[in-house]
């Protein structure tokens, strides 16, 4: 049976010590890459996704654990991002900087902006730092002004070019919703409420596929779906994360409309993507009818949260059994001897070696760390 204490112990004894060790005391921020054998690459670039997720992580861990050392990490991380990664001209975040903070890739991507807003909102909630409050508001206004058009949210925006691209993704929309949820929860602005409601309605009216009980992944300029992809990971994550957004928004009509759709999304993933009732994890996605059988760390973490959410919300006792099976699979195959999870495991249960197998531009404690925090809150 799943219990809160086990997730608390994993967070405090395994994950936090691993990431504490990756703080770059010379240049600031956290090292950008650690391979599967726990060898740190101290000169790897530092991505916006990794660095902002770590700010969210330490801010959120401090809120839950009330350990002042965690808040100190958050203070330093906010300072690093503000100094080296935020463009003073427009307030957006660079996609990537070198290990010493020099600009490597100055693109502004909506996905990265969303995680920066998510992180700054959480950091303000933890610290009450007025600079973070102002920075969060600036990021929100920038996103709404420059990264959105009449059909929805753009993927990126180049300030000296008119064409911002025409392909849209559910992944970016999901994390806009996530960021706006945190922003509205913490700051409670009317503009934040309206933007959160708008983004959730995009899921209802455009992204949700009522015939296939899934959330489509890619869209054209007009938010019409393109391609045939069932992303098990994004759908299982959406099933609880968008419901959480509805709870924060507090609009009963929207919640009532979306809740049964999200339940169908979760059950569709469970029926198609889970392997042996999750005793062997779950697949990554299905493209054009072909299963990608790779198991990914973030998909496992989001599935565990979603399954317990299903149990709490709908009284689905099987979901709790599946969550326990998934957690046992994770403990057996994913958690490395170093505390952090391996990035990927193949169909034979072998972890896949990678230069960023424990830490990288996308590999961080956002998913599995959040899983621990959620389990500590929502397990019965």
Per-residue pLDDT at 83: 98
**Per the structure, how many domains does the chain have?**
1
Give dist(CA 372, CA 358) in Å, integer: 17
The reply to whether 242 falls in a domain is: yes
CA 106 – CA 258 distance, rounded (Å) = 37
| 221 touches 278 (CB < 8 A) | no
What per-residue confidence (pLDDT) applies to 313?
A: 94
- Residue owning tokens 């203070």: 75
- What is the pLDDT, as a whole number, of residue 163? 42
HEC secondary structure over 262-301: HHHHHHHHHHHHECCCCCCCECCEEECCEEECCEEHHHHH
Q: Could you identify the residue written with the tokens 């936090």?
A: 16
Domain of residue 332 covers 4-374
Domain harbouring 66, CATH code: 1.50.10.10
Q: Tell me: the pLDDT tens digits for 21-70? A: 999 999 999 999 999 999 999 999 999 999 999 999 999 999 999 999 99
Is residue 379 included in any domain, yes or no?
A: no
Cα distances (Å, whole numbers) of residue 151 to 161, 224, 227, 298? 19, 10, 19, 29
| C-beta separation of 369 from 61 below 8 A | yes
The list of the chain residues with pLDDT below 70 reads 157-166
Q: Is residue 380 part of a domain?
A: no
Per-residue model confidence (pLDDT) at position 1: 87
pLDDT in tens, 133-188: 999 999 999 999 999 999 999 997 554 444 444 589 999 999 999 999 999 999 99
Is residue 319 domain-resident? yes
């Amino acid at each position: 049976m799943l219990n809160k204490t086990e997730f608390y112990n994993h967070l405090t004894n395994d994950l936090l010590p691993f990431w504490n060790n990756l703080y770059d005391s010379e240049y600031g921020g956290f090292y950008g890459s650690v391979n599967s054998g726990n060898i740190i690459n101290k000169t790897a670039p530092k991505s916006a996704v990794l660095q902002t997720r770590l700010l969210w992580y330490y801010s959120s861990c401090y809120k839950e654990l009330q350990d002042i050392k965690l808040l100190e990490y958050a203070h330093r991380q906010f300072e690093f991002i503000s100094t080296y990664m935020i463009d003073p001209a427009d307030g957006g975040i660079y996609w990537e900087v070198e290990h010493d903070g020099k600009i490597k890739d100055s693109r502004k991507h909506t996905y990265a902006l969303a995680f920066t807003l998510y992180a700054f909102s959480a950091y303000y909630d933890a610290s009450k730092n007025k600079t973070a409050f102002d920075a969060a508001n600036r990021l929100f206004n920038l996103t709404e002004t420059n990264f959105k058009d009449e059909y929805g949210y753009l993927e990126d925006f180049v300030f000296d070019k008119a064409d911002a691209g025409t392909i849209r993704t559910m992944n970016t929309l999901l994390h806009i919703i996530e960021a706006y949820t945190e922003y509205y929860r913490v700051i409670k602005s009317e503009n934040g409420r309206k933007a959160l409601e708008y983004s959730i309605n995009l899921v209802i009216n455009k992204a949700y596929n009522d015939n296939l009980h899934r959330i489509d992944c890619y869209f054209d300029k007009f938010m019409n779906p393109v391609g045939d992809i069932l992303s098990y990971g994004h759908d299982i994550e959406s099933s609880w994360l968008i419901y959480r957004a509805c709870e924060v928004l507090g609009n009963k009509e929207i919640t009532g409309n979306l809740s049964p759709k999200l339940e169908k999304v979760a059950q569709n993933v469970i029926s198609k993507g889970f392997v042996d009732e999750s005793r062997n994890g779950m697949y990554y996605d299905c493209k054009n009818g072909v299963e990608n059988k790779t198991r990914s760390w973030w998909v496992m973490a989001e599935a565990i949260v979603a399954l317990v959410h299903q149990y709490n919300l709908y009284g689905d006792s099987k979901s709790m059994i599946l969550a326990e099976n998934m957690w046992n699979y994770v403990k057996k195959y994913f958690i490395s001897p170093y505390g952090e999870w391996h990035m990927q495991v193949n169909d034979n249960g072998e972890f896949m070696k990678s230069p960023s197998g424990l830490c990288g531009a996308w590999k961080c404690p956002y998913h599995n760390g959040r899983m621990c925090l959620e389990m500590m809150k929502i397990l019965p």
